[in-house]
Amino acid sequence: MNRRQFIRLISQGLLGAGLVPRLAFAGQPNEKRPLQFVFAQIKYRGGDWNPHPLSVTPLMEELMARTSVEPATVRHDIMLTDRDLFNYPFLYLTGKYEFEPFSQEEVETLRRFLSYGGFLLIDDALGQQGYGFDKAVRREMQRVFPGNEFKRLPSGHAALRSYYLLRRIGGVRIVSPNLEGINVGNSTPVVYCQNDLGGAWERDQLGKWTNACTPGGEGQRKDAFHLGINLILYAMTENYKEDLIHVPFIRKRLTR
Amino acid sequence: MKDLYLIGAAPGWLIGLISLGAAALLVQQFFALRQRLPLGQTTFLIFLRACVYAVLLFFLFGPALIDKRVSKLRRPLTLLIDSSQSMGFPARAKNTPGDKPGQSRLDLVREKLQGGKDPLIQRLNRDYDLRVISFGTSLDPIAPGGIANLKAQAPGSRLLELVQTAARDGGAQSGIVVFSDGITNGERKSLDGAPPLPVPVFTVGVGESEGFTDVRIAKLGAPEFAFRGREFKIDLTIQASGMKGKSVPLFFNRGKNLITTRTVAIDADSFEQKVTLSFTPKELGTHGFSVSIPAQPGEQITQNNHKDFKVDVQRDKIRVLTLSGSPSWNYRFLRMAMKQDPLIELVSFVFLRTPMDTVDVPESQLSLIPFPIDDIFLEELKNFDVVFFDDFSYRAYFNPVYLERVRDFVRDGGGLAMLGGSRSFDSGGYGDSALREVLPVELDGKGNYQSQTTVSAALSATGKVHPVTRLLPEPKSNEEAWSKLPALTGLNQVRGVRGETLITAGGDGLPTAAPLLVVGRFGKGRTLALLSDDAWRWNFIAVGNRETPQNHLKLVRQAVRWLAQEPSFEQVQLHPIASAQPG
């Protein structure tokens, strides 16, 4: 039971005693509560599409605790050929090893997905530039967006300011201090992290962290959670934090 | 004088014959009567008959009496008397012996025309058909006696233009006599190059041009309308005399609020400078502005130190405010629809955190900004055209009193849209708020939000012809487009509908024809209720189905235009004229 569920339970007890207005928590039972976000992970052929099977739930719990988003606590696994792919505008692609090329249909579907409002977070669990997963990802994204290469995200990018004001990129290991992304128009529908974010999020059944984060330890893990939350909120609000009304506030906080 | 004329009603020969006949008749009657009467009586009777015949003959000559009356015609003469404010200046800068104290230039004109035993105005009135016209910025005829009551208060003097008008429109006349101090602020500075005047013009100058102290706003060029949020400029000309070496402040006000001030340095006795001021209006409507220079020490006339003008501020974009209860895909695609529309200016607030959420870092490491409740609801709301409540409940964030401002905003002509979700309509507590009477659906506090269901959209009869739901111009294609839209998965149920249902929701477990999209009116404003938080599926799922996302984008943009009462989105009805026949 997480904190929010606990508060609901207490409140519903008060509700029975008539101490809280009836509508205050007129929500649905947990299993049918309205979900605003589902973390969907891409299954692909070859390689290892699922290096951290328990990584998503801790991130979703963190998302629920810190933000107003109501996420599903378990992830949804999906293939690019599945008919309901577009029900999940946020996709997560991770792995350690080189995988088989996408079919032409998958490439076109992914291009359509990303061009019309979908978002893809790519996470390299191996962290070897030019080898394994990194090599396969760069090859496939070139097929999805020919001529549109990964570029380093500037420090002022909206994805780094969508909730937390991020100055560092976390993960199990710091292979790169920066994120990369592919820009389409005014947005960045593809963000690539090589620091193994999933490894930092993952917790075993007993609640212990599966992987140690080096060299930054728990601070580095915290950064990984912050980045995960930021990227989810960026996907759902796009360049919201670049609206003029936010600029002076953010600038003031960054200059403190 | 009257004269008698015989104009001859009958020809002369006829009159001669009748005369001879009458004479013969008289002779014959004389002898006939003499046989019966004495000579005296006979002679008397014949005399009477002769008189009768003579009268008859006289009328045959056609007598006519002509009455001749002779009167002397006077030629027109026009007196033009300047009644602009400068004519209220003292007649002379320094009094000389014999001057009346406080005598103005207009007083001097009056004295010349009306003074003395036999005033000039009366002499002119005797000899001419006298027309007296006062002028400032226009010609105003007055009676000759009205000169005594004439006041120098016209706001300017278009001297040369009005002399031309009086000469052109006055017809044949002896001439025009102009009484003026010669100060003009019309467009024309001389008559060089102008067509010659058709009548002689005589000018009588009054007053002196030297030695006066005055600063004035001579000309003002301001637009009649401006766009909200865009700078407009006003051009004015400052003139001054007798103030060399001084500096005067120039104030630019909107109503009583000072916008800006300038200092004008006067560097010549006869000074003129053009000044340009600018302002960016933020509120719609007609606003009163003024430019003014405070009265200066020794200034003879202060009325010309101030000018008022009005500017009608219109919008060039539809300003939309969205309040979203949390980040969501609905917000993501709503934002996409509005941001890509050049006619829409979007200001959005997404509540990224609820009061129940905790953070693990100091506030300074968060990008969250405080929601400016007072600024939005008390100050800025009137500057928006449409407000969206996107799955947003006020309860955790502000007092419901602020919703009364939203109600007033709609009543005064604003647009309000509420999108569904677990924080909207009854689920958001709006059944107990001021928006209950505003929304086009009936709330009773019992309606709930149903998620993970299947909701298909169907156009109602009203929806088929409504501009919000017209995705395609052809009615059949439009219905087909709606039928192809992907199903939604969430629905807010409400007790009933107060407005017009454009789209109904169909699906298992749903009541027949449950409302999905409803529009209504409140006061001068418009309202819209979309009873689902899933409309983004009409966009992105359609893309996945290899259909166009344009239907969703178009729906959002048309809803915004309709709510903002864009003229192009007004519904019109065409009625055939019963009596009209083709051809």
Amino acid at B441: V
Residue B209 has pLDDT above 90, yes or no: no
Find the Cα–Cα–Cα–Cα dihedral B519, B418, B344, B366, rounded to 10°: 180
Within 43-62 of B, beta carbons closer than 8 Å to A belong to none
CA distances from A237 to A69, B175, B253 (A): 12, 80, 41
Residue B338 has pLDDT above 90, yes or no: yes
**Is B463 an 8 Å CB contact of chain A?**
no
Residue B478 has pLDDT above 80, yes or no: yes
CB contact under 8 Å between A23 and B427, yes or no, is yes
Which two structure tokens, joined as six digits, stand for A104? Answer: 């032409």
CB contact under 8 Å between A162 and B367, yes or no, is yes
Secondary structure tally for chain B: helices H, strands E: 11, 26
> Mind listing the pLDDT tens digit for each residue in B81-136?
999 888 887 777 666 666 666 788 888 898 888 888 888 888 888 888 888 999 98
pLDDT at B497: 95
Contacting residues of B for A233, CB less than 8 Å apart: 327, 352
Bridge-based pairing state of the strands B270-279 and B232-241: antiparallel
Going along B103-256, which residue ranges are E strands? 129-135, 139-142, 175-180, 201-205, 214-221, 225-227, 232-241, 247-254
| C-alpha closest to that of B160 among B198, B187, B200 | B187
Report the residue from B368, B369, B429 with minimal CB separation from A23: B429
CB contact under 8 Å between A237 and B335, yes or no, is yes
The 3-state DSSP class for residue B539 equals: helix
> Mind listing the pLDDT tens digit for each residue in B326-336?
999 999 999 99
Q: How much is the average pLDDT of B203-214?
A: 78
pTM of the model: 0.65
- Indicate the DSSP class of residue B121: H
| C-alpha closest to that of B493 among B476, B505, B480 | B505
Report the residue from B326, B360, B427 with minimal CB separation from A26: B427
Contacting residues of B for A165, CB less than 8 Å apart: 364-367
CB contact under 8 Å between A34 and B490, yes or no, is yes
| C-alpha closest to that of B325 among B250, B388, B416, B240 | B388
Best residue in A81, A233, A236 to probe B by mutation, most B CBs within 10 Å?
Answer: A236
User: Chain B closest CA to A128's CA: distance in Å?
Assistant: 31
Rounded-to-integer distance, Cα B146 and Cα B149, Å: 5
Query: Which string of DSSP letters, residue by residue, matches chain A?
Result: --HHHHHHHHHHHHHHTT-S-GGGG----GGG---SB--EEEE-SSS-S-S-TTSHHHHHHHHHHHSS--B-SS-EEEETT-TTGGG--EEEEEESS--PPPPHHHHHHHHHHHHTT-EEEEEESS--TTSHHHHHHHHHHHHHSTT---EEPPTT-GGGTSSB--SS--SSB-S-SS-EEEEETTEEEEEEE-S-HHHHH-B-TTS-BSS--BTTHHHHHHHHHHHHHHHHHHHHHTTGGGSTTTHHHHHHHHT-
> Mind listing the pLDDT tens digit for each residue in B524-553?
999 999 999 999 999 999 999 999 999 999
Best residue in A240, A250, A251, A256 to probe B by mutation, most B CBs within 10 Å?
Answer: A240
The mean predicted confidence, pLDDT, of chain B is 88
Report the residue from A85, A164, A253 with minimal CB separation from B544: A85
Contacting residues of B for A4, CB less than 8 Å apart: 356
Which two structure tokens, joined as six digits, stand for B369? Answer: 């900004």
Q: What is the pLDDT along chain A (256 residues), one digit of tens a residue?
A: 454 444 444 433 333 333 333 322 333 334 356 788 999 999 999 999 999 999 999 999 999 999 999 999 999 999 999 999 999 999 999 999 999 999 999 999 999 999 999 999 999 999 999 999 999 999 999 999 999 999 999 999 999 999 999 999 999 999 999 999 999 998 999 999 999 999 999 999 999 999 999 999 999 999 999 999 999 999 999 888 888 777 777 777 777 6
CB contact at 8 A, B441 and B497 = yes
**Is B395 an 8 Å CB contact of chain A?**
yes
